[in-house]
């Protein structure tokens, strides 16, 4: 069953932690408070800056910043798995807005991957596989391009263009095509992470993926747009959210403080 990565409320020990590179303090505080319990951390690239269609690239020296954040996390929880996502360029926020100078978001992401692997080989990079908006077959183009340029695909990759996708059929098809391509290419042990997948899709793809993430529990859909206003409400919403996942799939870990009575 897949791991669920998130940034939990501070008082709840949880092993799979997601750190937002644009707001790292919350994740770092959580790690400091629960460092003896954490097994794995994913540092995302801060990709949500591209929700603004006027932003076309990451800030200068963003790669250096991510590497320093990675090293800081390692110093805090030595012995845990720590991954940092290569800065990628999404197509799902504002389709084609990041297609620049003859390169689509896929080629631009590849450029960053090549630079990261060459310049910071000591970093445990999570390779993002980008695609074009609502075009599942574009993931094949990305994978074949990565293979052409010797990007390592036999460890841990992340499907990175489904963060705001709400069509289960699109998510399911992209996962299916990815799994098929990896198998045909001999990458039998590759672990697949899904960034921000819709909860409804997890029920249909959970057997094909290694892990997924979400921080949507802080502001779930529903009446009145209710969202967490304080720590007590964060705990309540987190417990409610993760139990929804537990009802859909058999999560590999459910904190004892959250088990049903």
Strands (E) in the chain, as ranges, are 3-5, 16-19, 40-43, 81-85, 125-129, 156-159, 191-194, 211-213
- Looking at the 3D structure of the chain, how many domains does it have? 1
Q: What is the CATH number for 122? A: 3.20.20
- Its domain, for residue 228, covers 3-258
Token readout for 248 is 């859909």
**pLDDT at position 221:** 58
d(CA 30, CA 15): 11
pLDDT of 118 above 50: yes
Query: Is the pTM above the cut of 0.75?
Result: yes
111 pLDDT above the threshold of 70: yes
- The band of 50, judged by pLDDT with boundaries at 50, 70 and 90, is very high
pLDDT value of position 260: 39
Residue 261: which pLDDT band, with cuts at 50, 70 and 90? Answer: very low
Q: Is 38 within 8 Å of 17 (Cβ atoms)?
A: yes
Residue 255: predicted pLDDT: 67
CA pair distance 187, 182, nearest whole angstrom? 5
Mean pLDDT, the chain, whole residue set: 90
Provide the percentage of residues in the chain whose pLDDT is more than 90.
72
64-76 per-position pLDDT tens digit:
999 999 999 999 9
Q: Are 152 and 185 in contact (CB under 8 A)?
A: no
With vertex at residue 205, the alpha carbon angle to CA 200 and CA 209, rounded to the nearest 5 degrees, is: 125
For residues 81, 21, 177, 249, the Cα torsion angle rounded to the nearest 10 degrees is 60
User: Average pLDDT, stretch 90-113?
Assistant: 96
Task: Give per-residue pLDDT as tens, 185-236.
Answer: 999 999 999 998 877 888 899 999 999 998 888 776 554 555 677 888 888 8
pLDDT value of position 210: 95
What is the three-class DSSP state of 147?
Answer: helix
User: What confidence tier does 1 reach under pLDDT thresholds 50, 70, 90?
Assistant: confident
Distance in Å from the first CA to the final CA of the chain: 23
Provide the pLDDT for residue 222: 53
CA distances to 38, 200, 228 from 248, rounded to whole Å, are 24, 9, 23
pLDDT of 109 over the 60 cut:
yes
């Amino acid at each position: 069953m897949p791991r669920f990565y998130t940034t939990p409320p501070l008082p709840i020990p949880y092993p799979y932690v997601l750190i937002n590179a644009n707001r790292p303090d919350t994740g770092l505080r959580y790690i400091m408070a629960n460092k003896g319990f954490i097994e794995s951390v994913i540092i995302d690239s801060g990709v949500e800056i591209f929700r603004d269609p006027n932003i076309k690239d990451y800030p200068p020296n963003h790669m250096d910043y991510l590497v320093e954040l990675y090293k800081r996390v390692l110093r805090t929880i030595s012995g845990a798995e720590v991954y940092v996502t290569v800065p990628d360029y999404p197509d799902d926020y504002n389709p084609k807005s990041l297609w620049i100078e003859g390169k689509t978001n896929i080629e631009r992401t590849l450029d960053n991957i090549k630079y990261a692997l060459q310049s910071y080989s000591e970093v445990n990079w999570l390779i993002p596989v980008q695609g074009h908006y609502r075009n599942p077959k574009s993931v094949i183009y990305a994978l074949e391009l990565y293979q052409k340029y010797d990007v390592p695909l036999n460890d841990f990759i992340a499907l990175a263009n489904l963060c705001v996708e709400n069509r289960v059929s699109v998510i399911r098809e992209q996962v299916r095509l990815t799994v098929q391509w990896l198998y045909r290419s001999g990458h039998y042990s590759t672990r697949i992470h899904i960034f921000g997948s819709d909860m409804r899709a997890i029920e249909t793809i959970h057997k094909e993926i290694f892990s997924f993430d979400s921080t949507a529990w802080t502001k779930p859909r529903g009446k009145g747009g209710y969202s967490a206003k304080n720590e007590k409400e964060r705990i309540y919403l987190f417990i409610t959210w993760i139990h929804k996942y537990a009802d859909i799939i058999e999560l590999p870990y459910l904190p004892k403080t959250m088990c049903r009575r």
